[in-house]
Structure 1
Amino acid sequence: MNYTELKLYAPKETEDPLTLALEDLGIAGFAVNDPDDYTELFNKRNAYDWDYVSEDVKPEFEDKVVFTLYLDDTPEGLELMEKILSEADYLGVTDSAIRSVSDDDWKDKWKEWFKPAKVGERIVVKPSWEAYEKQDPAELVIEIDPGMAFGTGTHETTSLCMRLMEKYQKPGDKVLDVGCGSGILSIAAALLEAGDILAVDIDPIAVEVSKENAELNGLADRMTIQEGDLTKGLSYKADVVVANLMADLVILLSAHVMKHLVPGGIYISSGILVEKRDQVRAAVEAAGFEILEIPEDGEWCAIAAKAPAYEA
């Protein structure tokens, strides 16, 4: 089905009356971009509740609010749009923009930028809708459909994790994937010949997406995927723990992860901005780990650390 996207630009002081006017016209669903919201959000970028805020979300205008409406591409929708525009001056609207969109724009546009990519020495990630022929017999190909969960494999944080897994995970290792997202790291662990894998995520949608991707790769019987909050309530002991989270969560996890590792086990963490590297490193070392390396990719870094070779 096609829709008409209508954007209305207005001074900030007209936001409340314009909202009420649109609701009076029977329009309950619309988005409002207020530049003050961006300012408040961006100023929190180094606070606990926001680890990273992209400047790409900067508003179109610093002195105007932008209302975005989607109207059915029908005679009734066209009539409603004409009514809104006819009252635009009265409602305080200073400018407007109109374009046609379709369901396909919503569902599939992002797929144009997700292509097969080599993300490690051997690991290649491909979307489920793209064909790919191995360039080398040694390549390990992961087929992924991220859905609503994080993890296409092409983000720096994920590829950093996989490169470290290629280096430190050994055949037969037990692997714990904390915050599994799309399940991509658990799938990588299986392809790298892990003996047993437990994947956990606090988001039930991520758990379902991980299970679907495990099935897609024919690896569902190689791993257990369950809902959980970091390692709370787990008694699982692994040779490798991998956690692609965010800096503050890695710091929190680091205080508890040692009890889930065998002596000499490997702890791989990512999702860490370079500017927060020293904070996370200090937390990992304080938990008793030896830092093995901290590779960087752009503004992100990951940490590979080793547990003591004896029980604490």
Structure 2
Amino acid sequence: MNYYLFRIFDDISLETAQTDLEKRGLKDTFVIEDDALGEIFIGGHSKKEIETPFAQLTEKKPAVVNWDEQWSLFAENFHQGKAHIQLGEKTLLLTPGAGFGDLSHPTTYLMLEMMKDTVSNEHVIDIGTGSGILALSALLMGAKSAIGIDIDPASIQHAKENAKLNQLKATFTKTLPKKLPQNNILLMNMIFPEQIIFAPEKLNQYAKTWIVSGILAKEKEAYLAQAKTWGWKPLLEQVRSEWVGFIFSV
């Protein structure tokens, strides 16, 4: 198993490069944007050799990650081997692991800020749950239930460990359960191209509200136009650094 990092060629879209790499066998892909250099990278791992005409291979190495070290460097308020996420008077503990979401990224702050006055007494579904930070935070904010969805088995296991650590009852799974409550609050913290690939409108039947982030401020108008095609109406907008988040009604 090797870890790969590719730099997308300037004339190629993120969606094109990511779709091609995933078809060629790159697993658990993630995106890194270097705004200073104006470059976009896609990383992931695979058991076989990966090449693509849409990006340059910049790094290849055995896929072994020291999550304790990574989280100690970047996670919010990390001590005693855990990240401590302060939610009002309550604290969510997160153990290091493969799932995205340690409060080191501005979009996670945006999501939590928009959630705090929205999810109480609601059923919540978190798309791309990662470490489970949003689903578990929703429960601490008073949500009736929380389901976290992720295509990465390592992230699902990580989220389950964090639920157990915090003694919270949440469901983490690769696909949506067959029986779902209606009128859920749906959460989605993904970059714009990943949201397009995911096609969130297919879940509108379960949603009364979407809370989303992962959108660069420069993408705002294009994103709002896309959201309109998904049948969403903007209720709230928040900005942090160069990122924007929204609450939409369906």
User: TM-score of the superposition, structure 1-length normalised?
Assistant: 0.58
User: TM-score of the superposition, structure 2-length normalised?
Assistant: 0.71
Unaligned runs of 5+ in 2: 19-30, 40-56
DSSP 3-state at the match of 2:99: coil
Counterpart of 1:167 in structure 2 is 117
Alpha-carbon distance between aligned partners in 1 of 2:82 and 2:76, rounded to the nearest angstrom: 7
Q: Does 1:47 align with 2:8?
A: no
| Superposed CA offset, 1:41-68 (max 9, x none) | 252574324665325798xxxxxx9999
Contact kept, 8 Å, 2:75 with 2:103, in 1: the verdict is no
Instruction: Specify the code of the residue in structure 2 equivalent to 1:242.
Output: L
Judged with a 3 Å threshold, the aligned counterparts in structure 2 of structure 1 residues 279 and 132 are, in CA distance, closer, same or farther, namely closer
Instruction: Specify the code of the residue in structure 2 equivalent to 1:225.
Output: F
Name whichever structure is richer in helix by fraction: 1
CA-based RMSD:
3.6
- 1:295 pairs, out of 218, 238, 241, with 238
**How many percent of aligned residue pairs carry the same amino acid?**
22
Alpha-carbon distance between aligned partners in 2 of 1:185 and 1:173, rounded to the nearest angstrom: 14
Name whichever structure is richer in strand by fraction: 2
Q: Does 1:129 align with 2:81?
A: yes
CA-CA distance at 1:150 after TM superposition: 0.8
- 2:75 pairs, out of 111, 114, 122, with 114
After superposition, residues 198-209 of structure 1 pair within 5 angstroms as 198-209=147-158
Alpha-carbon distance between aligned partners in 2 of 1:224 and 1:67, rounded to the nearest angstrom: 36
Counterpart of 1:245 in structure 2 is 190
Counterpart of 2:215 in structure 1 is 272
Counterpart of 2:103 in structure 1 is 153
Contact kept, 8 Å, 2:83 with 2:93, in 1: the verdict is no
CA-CA distance at 1:165 after TM superposition: 0.5
After superposition, residues 175-214 of structure 1 pair within 5 angstroms as 175-214=124-163
Which has more radius of gyration? 1
Counterpart of 1:306 in structure 2 is 249
Instruction: Specify the code of the residue in structure 2 equivalent to 1:247.
Output: F
Counterpart of 2:203 in structure 1 is 257
Contact kept, 8 Å, 1:46 with 1:52, in 2: the verdict is no
- 2:174 pairs, out of 227, 233, 236, with 227
DSSP 3-state at the match of 1:243: strand
Alpha-carbon distance between aligned partners in 2 of 1:254 and 1:176, rounded to the nearest angstrom: 12
Alpha-carbon distance between aligned partners in 2 of 1:187 and 1:107, rounded to the nearest angstrom: 20
Number of aligned residue pairs: 215
